[in-house]
Structure 1
């Protein structure tokens, strides 16, 4: 296991993060406590120190399990959890990003986790209601009180993240050090704005869904059952072509398709820390194999080509040769020649 700095912070985290949404069986799937501990132990034995949970995962069981598992060596672990999602039905203030829910949710998570502090607190998703200033000031207060060490944000538009960190920087508040969103060969739309923004603002990216809910393992090509419904975008004709390409690359490299899919997300010129989850120990062992090889450039290009997306406006517009010539009259070429 190698380690990376978490974005603009000095925090050292393992190059993959253990996702624990599968810890607990309250949602009708996942791992019981015994299997969850085996998964945790395997990750620890591999050198992992970064673990991710949330207040709502398996109705609180995930946080309880994680808190118990790390208790004997709490300071070793980089513990991340989230707030935003409701944890009481029919009560408006038990959900959202506002200060009341933020403080209440964090105190509840601390109790379930049986810890005095959270290393990384994620805003789970943007509620489109709470002002940015209220969110950032509330998070900064938690850091100032020592209840939280670092803050991150998940599943939020790039312009909001940029606004939030700009406000935090100018007001001397703690800013986001990392961002989390779905990213895989089946979901490359973050390349339009989220990934370039993360690079520009020096945010670590912790992508989830890197194997497309299992679709990129090739299981559905083999006719196996799974939790992804037949009418899902992860199982349409185009997705099947991508999955087939992943299987072919895996066969050529003598690795598994899951390892190829996870590893592909790591082949970026910025900090990318995939979140890997499992409901069985052997699944995690397989996923950890992504750290043992590098995908050759030619194969990366094959995967990129079969999964390519249109970046849309203004990206496609600005990179077109006609616009460059009409607007800048060869300026870029002259600048390139000058640099040369």
Structure 2
């Protein structure tokens, strides 16, 4: 396993792959029982993985318990643990117990700390934007958790770009703890974050964690199983055959090449082992370009208009990453 800094706003080194634990618990949609979950966690650690992602909502809180049991038998400080709040582990939560607001935040962080059997969470995410809570309330509450030592870094997930950007700017203006990480759905079949989120992350130094890196397993399957994506999956399979790798390994390697941290969500030990193999894949610039083209998406307005206008005016050759004329 290789390591990278968690964005330019932190000095902490994490494994290139994060271990997602949403399937740990065999509750509701869970498909990994406690024994298999512990095998997955220990195998990930043995391979050098130190970045584990969970949430209070996963499997009614049982996922955090599985991670807590693992940490209790391991060296806590060796691992970077990310968790999330706002969805609540309760099946029938009261009206005031969930959301982005301070009340839910304070209640959920205490519950997560108990289940994780730790006194601090490395990266604490707002799991989903509720579109209601004032950004100032949310960011001040998260800053209070950092100052109290219960949280080290702040992350935002599944949040509209304007809300995320506003939160980041407000933190700068008021001297609050910055947003260090964003976690969004990103894979070959879902590339919408390339419009605004990825450029914003590059400009601000935020790390990007990519959940559902295989689009729910579609990118690991044959094109005949998903005819609506047949042409794209055939191109993926062609590159996989050329490199003698699996389609899943190629799809994960593409995400790594995009400077993101794919969040693996293995149900079994074999699935985890397959995901880790992606670290051995070396994609050429031509491979990446071919995948970009095969899974191309419409960038839409105003970006298509601006691209054409900027190219016509010659602005594209004046960018800082272009050679001096």
The TM-score range, normalised by the shorter chain, is: over 0.9
Whether 1:187 aligns to 2:190 is: yes
Q: Is the 8 A contact 1:110 1:117 kept in 2?
A: yes
CA RMSD of aligned residues (A): 2.0
Please report how far the alpha carbon of residue 236 of structure 1 lies from its aligned counterpart in structure 2 after TM superposition. Answer: 5.3
Q: Report the 3-state secondary structure (helix = DSSP H, G, I; strand = E; otherwise coil) of the residue aligned with 2:210.
A: coil
**Gap change, CA 1:90 and 1:39, over 3 Å in 2:** closer
Deviation string 1:270-311 (CA, Å, 9 cap, x unpaired) is x41111110100100000001012112222121111111111
Cα separation, partners in 2 of 1:26 and 1:160, compared to 1, 3 Å: same
Distance 1:297 1:82, change over 3 A: same
Structure 2 residue aligned with 1:303: 291
From the superposition, tell whether residues 129 and 302 of structure 1 become closer, same or farther in structure 2 (CA, over 3 Å). Answer: same
Verify the 8 A CA contact 1:218 1:247 in the aligned structure 2. Answer: no
2:3 aligns with 3
Corresponding residue of 1:256: 246
- When Rg is computed on C-alpha atoms for both structures, the one with the higher figure is 1
2:76 to 74, 77, 97: 74
Aligned-partner Cα distance in 1 for 2:191–2:318:
33
Structure 1 residue 312 corresponds to structure 2 residue 323? no
Distance 1:296 1:81 in 2: 34
Q: Which runs of 5+ in 1 are unaligned?
A: 224-234
Distance 1:100 1:42, change over 3 A: same
Partners of 1:198 and 1:287 lie apart in 2 by 25
**Matching residue of 1:290:** 278
**Residues 1-340 of structure 1: matches in 2 within 5 Å?**
1-7=1-7, 8-71=9-72, 72-88=74-90, 89-219=92-222, 221=223, 223=225, 235=226, 237=228, 239-268=229-258, 271-321=259-309, 325=312, 328=313, 339-340=324-325
How far apart are 1:87 and its partner, in Å? 3.0
TM-score with structure 1 setting the length: 0.90
Q: TM-score, normalising length from structure 2?
A: 0.94
In 1, Cα distance between equivalents of 2:171 and 2:316: 35
Task: Tell me the CA shift for residue 93 of structure 1.
Answer: 1.4
**Are the structure 2 counterparts of residues 160 and 249 from structure 1 closer, same or farther at C-alpha, using a change threshold of 3 Å?**
same
Structure 1 residues 92 and 249: alpha-carbon distance in aligned structure 2, compared to 1, 3 A threshold = same
Number of residue equivalences: 321
Counterpart-to-counterpart distance in 2, 1:179 and 1:97: 16
Change (3 A) 1:301 1:19: same
Gaps of 5+ in 2: none
Secondary structure at the residue paired with 2:83?
A: strand
